Structures are given as structure tokens and as C-alpha cells.
Structure 1
């Protein structure tokens, strides 16, 4: 469900659910965050210039 990256093993850290029911996942050692639909489809992968994400703010 979460695509591999070129920086080694990454894993989900913080999980949040938005209003439509999508799962937002911070990727520790993954350089970003991802959004997954309730059906398990990867909707979005956002890359950011830091690799250790442990929290997401939605607003």
C-alpha cells in the first residue's frame, strides 16, 4: 500500500483520519506523508525535505 523509497526501510508513524474517511500517514524515514482511501488505494504521496515525520496537522 505504501510505496518503497530509495532511503531504506520506512514505516508508518502517526495515523489520522480525515472527514471523508481517508487515512493520512506520516512516514518515519520516508521523507513524507501519504493518503490512503478507505478502500486501500494510495491517493497521494507528499515528499518533503526531511525524513523523520512523526506528526501530522490537518486543518
Structure 2
């Protein structure tokens, strides 16, 4: 995105259940995404865009056919 990004004080808890910065947020989106990806051999990582928003990289392994 192109928002302000995620402050250093919040980065360590991004993937913890219940962590949210939004009023009424549930705090399950990123942790659930991480659990699903890891269950399939993948991962999700946060990338700082130096004050120009946040980026999340989702990876899944390719299956050879």
C-alpha cells in the first residue's frame, strides 16, 4: 500500500493473534494467513517500504508435475 507503513513498535507483534490497530479489528487476518501458508510449506513476511507504505510477501512452493 502507500500508507505510512507500520511502526517499529508494532512489527514484532504483526503475526500474533489479537494484534490490531483498527477499531473493531479482530487481529486474526495476518496470523491466520501465516498459519495457512506455513501449513502448505510457504511463508508470509513484512517488508518496510521506507515510509512509503507496507508490503507483505506471500510465498508458496511450486509442486512439480
TM-score norm. by structure 2 comes to: 0.25
Higher RCO by CA contacts (8 Å cutoff, separation 6 or greater): 2
Determine which structure has the larger strand proportion and give its number: 1
Determine which structure has the larger helix proportion and give its number: 2
TM-score norm. by structure 1 comes to: 0.26
